[in-house]
Amino acid sequence: MASFGDDRPASVTVRPELKPSQRPSREEAMEAVKTLIAWAGDDPQREGVIDTPKRVVDAYEEWFSGYRADPVKELSRTFEDVQGYDDIVMLRDIDVESHCEHHMAPFLGKAYVAYLPKDKVVGISKIARVVEIFSKRLQTQETMTQQICDAIEDSLAPGGVAILIDAEHQCMTTRGVHHKHVSTITTQFTGAFKEDRDLQRRFLDFCNRK
């Protein structure tokens, strides 16, 4: 299933988010959906789709709620009483529900996230929440993997971070080349996970356990 990670890029592009004043209104968004319905060849006033613009905008608010959440804030409450624990802390099978920024098609899969605490730990639900925040934005899987890693590195200063994401992209399975059941795996390793191949293999073994 898994492969070893590549070297970390020299820099990661930070995509600026729209200011609230730049964001179109809900009514403008619904009008845009009507335009797409008409462009597809249907009648926006037809009974079956007349309420579709409202439903699509409601869905978009949920699918892209990550733009209105702050991963740093989620990781800001930490605990220093770890009784000397310095081994792997790992969450497996975190659901990933995201949308490709190239086609706005869903990609769905699982994330595996681990870190080596030094002086502090964070509530395990916060790690899953960070994955959710970054996934609920227009994304590439590669960028999302790096963003999750960076957020944990910057907030917890751990001995190392390991990320693996395994997802199927509907922009590949339902259009274009139409290759079904093909998944994409991305990995990122920092610190001890990058330097110690035995530790890296432990993480990958955990990922492969059923």
- Compute the distance between CA of residue 84 and CA of residue 87 in angstroms, rounded to an integer: 9
pTM of the model: 0.86
**Tokens 């944990």 identify what position?**
152
Angstrom distance (rounded) from CA 64 to CA 5: 28
What structural domains and CATH numbers belong to the chain? 20-63 (1.10.286.10), 77-208 (3.30.1130.10)
Q: Where are the beta strands (DSSP E) in 4-88?
A: 78-79
Contact 163, 149 (CB under 8 A): yes
Residues 6+ apart with CB under 8 A from 28: none
Strands laid side by side in the 106-115 sheet: 138-139, 89-100, 106-115, 161-169, 183-189
- Can you tell me the distance from the alpha carbon of 9 to that of 91, in angstroms, rounded to the nearest whole number? 24
Residues with catalytic function: 100-103, 141, 169, 171
Per-residue pLDDT tens digits of the chain, which is 210 residues long: 444 334 433 334 455 576 766 889 999 999 999 999 999 999 999 999 999 999 999 999 999 999 999 999 999 999 987 788 889 999 999 999 999 999 999 999 999 999 999 988 999 999 999 999 999 999 999 999 999 999 999 999 999 999 999 999 988 888 888 888 889 999 999 999 999 999 999 999 999 987
Cα–Cα distance, 189 to 201 (Å, whole number): 11
